[in-house]
């Protein structure tokens, strides 16, 4: 299933900047960044729970927020892209 993860981390202090870096690094391990604080992650239910649990341990629930959008398995028909960054299939092979 495709899960869209979005976050807003308060960066008014050094601890917030560190949380922001840690959230972004963790999300990069599971999906593709499509905007500054938005990741598309193709995961199964167990991986999703793992990501959610790890992110909850990083953020400060009084200052930061996380959103998870479940687009399911037929996500290809639910996404439209218009604009500067080229669109890509998150399930394609990644060549580094």
pLDDT tens string 11-50: 999 999 999 999 999 999 999 999 999 999 999 999 999 9
pLDDT band of residue 75 (cuts 50, 70, 90) is low
Contact, 64 vs 19, CB < 8 A? Answer: yes
Secondary structure of residue 28 in the 3-state scheme: helix
Angle CA 10–16–17, to nearest 5: 110
Which pair of tokens denotes residue 95?
Answer: 């060549």
pLDDT at 10: 97
Spatial distance between the Cα atoms of 43 and 12, rounded to a whole number of angstroms: 32
| pLDDT on residue 83 | 73
Report yes or no: 26 and 20 within 8 Å, Cβ to Cβ. Answer: no
The two structure tokens encoding residue 78: 């639910």
- How many Cα atoms occupy the beta-carbon half-sphere of 20 within 13 Å? 13
Do residues 3 and 68 touch, judged by C-beta distance below 8 A?
A: yes
Of the chain, the percentage scoring pLDDT greater than 90 comes to 71
Higher pLDDT, 21 or 72: 21
pLDDT at 79 over 70: no
């Amino acid at each position: 299933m495709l899960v869209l993860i979005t976050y807003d981390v308060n960066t008014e202090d050094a601890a917030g900047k560190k949380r922001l870096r840690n959230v972004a690094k963790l999300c990069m391990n599971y999906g593709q960044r499509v905007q500054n604080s938005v990741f598309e992650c193709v995961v199964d239910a167990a991986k999703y729970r793992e990501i959610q649990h790890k992110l909850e341990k990083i953020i400060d629930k009084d200052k930061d927020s996380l959103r998870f959008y479940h687009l399911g398995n037929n996500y290809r028909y639910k996404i439209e892209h218009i604009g500067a960054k080229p669109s890509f299939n998150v399930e394609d092979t990644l060549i580094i």
